[in-house]
Amino acid sequence: MVIDTSVILAILFKEKHSTWAVTQMNTYASELRMSTVNLTEVLIHLQDRQPQLFHKLEEQLLFQSGIRFIPPDIEQSKIAANARIKFPLNLGDCFAYSLAVQEDCPILTLDKDFKTLPHVLIHPY
């Protein structure tokens, strides 16, 4: 299960669907993986919106969560580039998508931009 940036941000900032996001992360805890590109997105948002809590949340929620962080390789970069041309995705979304395609698994997301993609997705809509 690839976890998208939107799920982590919903939890960090107590957004709508944060309870659902926590439940899903607990349900799929042993399967969670995230592109390091998406990790970068999370860290940027966290530093921007909660700088005083950055180090505490970074350690507790991200690095002790059991998520396996995977750096993109050349094949993922190619898949991400093709996805950017074909779908209405931002760069981070393209890498979540490419990791899911490469590992043949669904994406755990709250981002409605993923609804039109030809891949198995999980969201509360």
What is the value of pTM for the model shown? Answer: 0.89
Domain ranges of the chain: 2-122
Report pLDDT digits (tens) over 84-95. 999 889 999 999
Cα 102 from Cα 48, distance rounded (Å): 31
Does domain 2-122 fall under CATH 3.40.50.1010? My reply is yes
Report pLDDT digits (tens) over 35-75. 999 999 998 998 899 887 777 766 666 667 789 999 999 99
- pLDDT band for 102, please (50, 70, 90 cuts): very high
